[in-house]
Structure 1
Amino acid sequence: MDTPPAKRAKLDPEQSPTLKAETQLSTAEAEEVQDADGEHCSICLQPYADRTVIATCSHEFCFECLIIWTEQSRRCPLCSQDIGKYLMHHIRSKYDYQKHYLAPLRTSPEPQAIDAARNNARQRAAYRREVEWGRRRRREIEELDELERAIEKRRWVYRHRLYAKHVASNPYTRYRPFPTPAQFSASQDYVSRAIAFIRRELRVWTGLDVEFLTTFTVSLMKALEIRSEPAVRLLSEFLDMDADPGHERDNAEHFAHELYCYLRSPYRDVAAYDQSVQVCWRRLIVFLACVSA
């Protein structure tokens, strides 16, 4: 016959010093853990850094954590109660602390207001672009009209054989001697001014390849004096193709003379030069040249 198990004796902590000590130790550890949890910020879960109290609900947090929180919300992170106008921090005792007053919470604009502002900005930008395009277009038309008027005036000058008057080279007139081919080749200023004048001047005659002849003339000036017989003869192959007998080089000679006078002048702008240049009949030019000789 089996023997029933012996019953365990019930231990009373008050009667067992060992059990009493273990029980007291467990209770102390639990209280220590609970106290440790109470010393941590509920936002960052770290020990308090400058413990800060919300006056309306007495909940505690790190000062920096709570400042960051209040930039987004003015309700307590734990109980959702209104935080109020200030926070209490730098707490040294019940009555010794500092108040940190909160700046008004920035409110985000309504989506409709954002869309309206964007639409207004786009409309203003489109209007500015339209105004600028219209202004640029009018300026281009005015410049084109001015260029056409200048070309027509130059056609009249060539048609009536009116030559630019000679101007002496001196500090007063600021006219200079015509550059030699070597000086012309070495000066980008001379080359740029020559290109601007040649492009405009060649449009006097219809049917010419202006860009090719501009490059051709500039290359010619780097090797020959533009009014020399070889240079005039080469230019006449393009400018005097339909000339009457006895006038096979008239246009080329006239063109070379005008280019010569412009490059000697102090003007960089062709339109400004047109306003200042004086012209006279070719016969007078020849007469003055003979007298001076």
Structure 2
Amino acid sequence: SSQHMTVPYGIIRQLYGPPQRRRRYRNEQRIESTEERSVSDQQQDALEKRRHVYRNRLFVKHMGANRISGFQQITPETFKVFPQRLDRLVPWIRRELRAILSLSTSSSSGGIDTSTTDDYHEQHPSRRRYEEIDTGLELIREYTIAVLKQYDLQTDPAQDLLRDFLHEHTEQFVHELMAFARSPHSIEAYDRAAQYPEP
């Protein structure tokens, strides 16, 4: 019999409860080194590419499971037998959620960069809620991992649980997640190897 799983109250409160003012440390940020800026730029470029994928509803092309490709078949039992494979997915899930949530906020604001405008946040509390992205994202990530441990993500019950947060991006997120989970690559190597149709 299938287990019933409800959305934890803490996630609901964080995402839909009264937003908290975002702390700002513009004058206290230390100067980044050239190497740190380079890594940050690379991460930002990768994040923008993921936004492009979700914005244009692009699904990564399937790669067959064989010894040459290194791709493997994945089932819910895989993560029970090899829990380290679940740990491997954490940074990937974090990045994908960041891309999806930031895509949602940018589309709702018309693509205007208002990240440093407190007045705008006062007038648009929904955007400010999503800009509490670090905390909210981690809650959704933990929830996604919990779903992944209990369900086959490619089934309707699992996707219904994720749809409350990912909305129209749910099916694509699951497709992308399972493709990465099947691969033998690091995130960086996977990004280079993944092939997508033209938008």
Q: CA deviation at 1:213?
A: 1.1
- Aligned mates of 2:142, 2:81 — CA distance in 1: 16
TM-score computed with the length of structure 1 as normaliser: 0.44
If asked which structure has higher relative contact order (CA below 8 Å, sep 6+), I would say 2
Is 1:147 matched up with 2:46? no
Decide whether the 8 Å contact of 1:162 with 1:280 is kept in 2.
Answer: yes
Of 88, 95, 115, the match for 1:193: 88
Q: CA deviation at 1:182?
A: 2.6
- Aligned mates of 2:198, 2:169 — CA distance in 1: 14
Q: Deviations over 1:234-267 (max 9, x none)?
A: 1110012xxxxxxxxx300000000000000111
- Aligned mates of 1:231, 1:280 — CA distance in 2: 27
Q: How many residues align?
A: 138
The 5-angstrom pairing of residues 5-24 of structure 1 reads: none
Residue matched to 2:163: 236
SS of equivalent residue, structure 2 residue 154: coil
Is 1:223 matched up with 2:150? yes
Q: CA deviation at 1:281?
A: 6.4
- Aligned mates of 2:76, 2:45 — CA distance in 1: 32
- Aligned mates of 1:279, 1:252 — CA distance in 2: 18
Decide whether the 8 Å contact of 1:154 with 1:201 is kept in 2.
Answer: yes
Name the larger-Rg structure. Answer: 1
- Aligned mates of 2:141, 2:82 — CA distance in 1: 17
Q: Deviations over 1:119-149 (max 9, x none)?
A: xxxxxxxxxxxxxx98x82222111111111
- Aligned mates of 1:270, 1:213 — CA distance in 2: 20
Q: Deviations over 1:149-184 (max 9, x none)?
A: 111111111111111100110111110001x22321
- Aligned mates of 2:192, 2:97 — CA distance in 1: 19
Q: CA deviation at 1:189?
A: 2.4
Residue matched to 1:214: 141
Q: CA deviation at 1:224?
A: 0.7
Percent identity among equivalent residues? 33
Of 276, 280, 288, the match for 2:197: 280
User: One-letter code of the match for 2:148?
Assistant: M
